[in-house]
Every structure is written in C-alpha cells, then in structure tokens.
Amino acid sequence: MTEEVLLLDDDATMLSILDGILSGSGYSCITATSATEALALVKSRPQIAVVLSDILMPDMTGLQFVDRLNALTLNRTRPRVLLLTGQPTLEAAVDALRLGVRDFLVKPIRAPDLIDAVRRAMAQLHGDVATQEGRSPQLDLLLRQAEELAGRLRTLAYSPPPPPAPRAPDSPPPSRTESPEPLPARELKPEPTPSEPSDTGKLAILDTIEHLRRLRSRYEHHNLDDVAWDLLLELLRAERLQQRLSVSGLAISISGVSATTSLRRVNELSARGYMERIPDPADARRDFVMLTSQSHALLSDYLTQANTYLSALN
C-alpha cells in the first residue's frame, strides 16, 4: 500500500503548488479544501501517513482540525501532522505542540525544507509503529482508559439539557391571565447551537472538573502538586498521540506555569521515579521523557476512578 500525504488548504492555488513540490519528489498526494473533507479522507484511507494543513481556514482552523483528528477512532497509527501558516505566533506553536503536531512550518517555505519536513514526519511515523508493536499491555490499558475518559468528557460537554418535567394529567392548564407576556424580540435568547455546550452542560463541566481535581486528594501520599499532576497527564497525552516529548518540550507545554517551575518539577519527578529521561542519540544536548511503571500504576488508578464517576453521570 503506497503511503499518501494529505494536503489541506482552502486555497486551491496553494494546494497545487504543494502538490507539485511533493509529487515531484516522489510522494503520492491527495488534496482537500475543507477540514471536514480531510477528516472523512483520514477515516476512509488508511494509506494517509502525513497530513499537511494550513492553520487559517474558514470552516475550521488547523488547530481545531488537529483536535478533531485526535478524537477520531482509528484502528491504526494516526497520521503525523504538519501545520503551515503565514502568521506564526508563539501561542499557536505551543498549542500545536500540545496537540501532537510533528512540525510547525512558516510561509513562505522553501521546497527543500518542505520535502525534508515530510520526510522526517514519515520517518517518525515508521518509528512510532515499531515502538507501538513493542509497547507493554499495561501502557495500552492506560491509554485506553485515557481515551474513554476523554470520550465521556466530550459526551458530557455536548449533552443537551434535560427536558422539562411533564405536567400532571389532572393539572389544569395555565389560564390566559396567568400566562406571562412574551419577551420583546430583542430580549429573546437564541437556543444553544449543537456545536456548543448548553448552560446546563457548562455547569456540569465545571462540577466535573472540580470533582476530578478533588479526586487527586486520594493520592496525597504521592506528594504531587497540581503542576506535577499536569506534567504526568501531559506526558500521558503525548504517549496517547504517539509523540515523544523532550524535557524542554514538556516544560513549556503546561499553560499558566513558568518553564522554570515546570523544569524543576520534571527534575523532581525524574529523581522520584515518576519519569524516565532518555538521552537523544542524535543530540547529546536533549533528553526525552517517558512515564515509568510507577506513574502508569498511579494514572491507571486515577483514570479508573474518574471513568467510574463519569459513567454514573452518563
């Protein structure tokens, strides 16, 4: 099966240029002009190995597209994603890293740089497939628990509010004089769209987030603060996305926390056996990090408790 590169951009001219560059270098390319079309192609074409997407698109941003792609149920390794933008920002780059994007490319991009980025993404995919085949059953279980928790949270977020209680059969209908006057048109509030949580859903999300935060108190004997928890869960997210994180990459991925504080926690977690640092054979200045069996046991128990709570809500 010939591996393919999926090109996503709402600009047909840009698609033609990208297709010409990569096809001329021996890559088999298919194109999509909308994120919705691209998601359908990924689901139906297992030969798609790399996705190159623009960020600014009218129906869905590139970052939103990657988030939807990560939520797809695929019985195979997910394609590696490259994002291309003419308006780079640090915030977008950090968000891309958190979503597991392989590379963040800036327009205008030279043809050799584009070809090299796709080549490296293909190589990473092949390496991830080999790693996945040798992955322990314990880690597979942990990742499945994380997928279930994410699915239940999405279900909770977009559940419609409960219908009003039916009126008792013998209750008289409200009289005309008791009916409230209709609100003026300018005061009428539109119904929540299916793409956004209702007010009831938002309150349920807040309650759930608070409950999951309190759930961590069961594990006080581990002496982990919120930053440490966030680092462990972020590393689990990376493993779910089959992404390797460097120490520095993990340190800058936690929002609202300085990189210095995150780096200090990474060092502490490594010293206490919650993370393992793996030297990068290609760069002596960089270490990768991965969860240890101690972290697997902790996170597995935590996710089991969280899933039990969310199952009771659904």
Q: Is 184 exposed, middle or buried (0-12, 13-18, 19+ CB in 10 A)?
A: exposed
pLDDT at 287: 86
pLDDT at 158: 45
CA distances from residue 291 to 121, 176, 208, 232 in whole angstroms, order as listed = 23, 66, 26, 7
Q: What is the pLDDT of residues 1-28, one digit of tens each?
A: 789 999 999 998 889 889 999 998 899 9
pLDDT at 178: 46
Q: Is 101 exposed, middle or buried (0-12, 13-18, 19+ CB in 10 A)?
A: buried
pLDDT at 80: 92
For residue 221, is pLDDT > 90?
A: yes
What predicted TM-score, i.e. pTM, was given to this entire model?
A: 0.51
For residue 177, is pLDDT > 60?
A: no
Task: Work out the average pLDDT over 236-252.
Answer: 76
Between 31 and 147, residue with greater pLDDT: 31
pLDDT at 86: 83
Percent of the chain at pLDDT exceeding 90 = 30
pLDDT category, 176, cuts 50, 70, 90?
very low
Task: Work out the average pLDDT over 241-247.
Answer: 74
- Rounding to the nearest 10 degrees, give the CA dihedral for residues 56, 57, 63, 64: 150
Q: Which two tokens stand for residue 236?
A: 């689990």
In DSSP terms, 80 is beta-bridged to 50
pLDDT at 130: 52
How long, in residues, is the chain?
Answer: 314
What is the dotted CATH code of the domain comprising 4-133? Answer: 3.40.50.2300
Q: How far apart are CA 164 and CA 200, in angstroms?
A: 13
For residue 141, is pLDDT > 50?
A: yes
Structural domain boundaries of the chain?
4-133, 137-159+197-313
Q: How far apart are CA 164 and CA 96, in angstroms?
A: 41
- For residue 300, the tally of other CB atoms under 10 A from its CB is 17
pLDDT category, 169, cuts 50, 70, 90?
low
**Averaged pLDDT of the chain:** 78
Q: How far apart are CA 287 and CA 80, in angstroms?
A: 21
pLDDT category, 313, cuts 50, 70, 90?
low
Q: Which two tokens stand for residue 299?
A: 């996170």
Task: Work out the average pLDDT over 167-192.
Answer: 46
Q: What is the pLDDT of residues 290-299, one digit of tens each?
A: 999 999 889 8
Q: What is the pLDDT of residues 101-115, one digit of tens each?
A: 888 888 878 888 899
Torsions phi, psi for 289 (to 5 deg): -125, 150
* Separate counts of helices (H) and strands (E) for the chain: 11, 8
pLDDT at 291: 92
pLDDT at 148: 56
209 contact partners, CB below 8 Å, separation of at least 6:
none
Between 66 and 160, residue with greater pLDDT: 66
pLDDT at 217: 87
Q: What is the pLDDT of residues 40-93, one digit of tens each?
A: 999 999 999 999 999 989 889 999 999 899 888 888 888 999 999 888 787 888
pLDDT at 187: 41
For residue 186, is pLDDT > 70?
A: no
pLDDT at 77: 82
CATH topology of domain 137-159+197-313: Arc Repressor Mutant, subunit A (1.10.10)
For residue 34, is pLDDT > 90?
A: yes
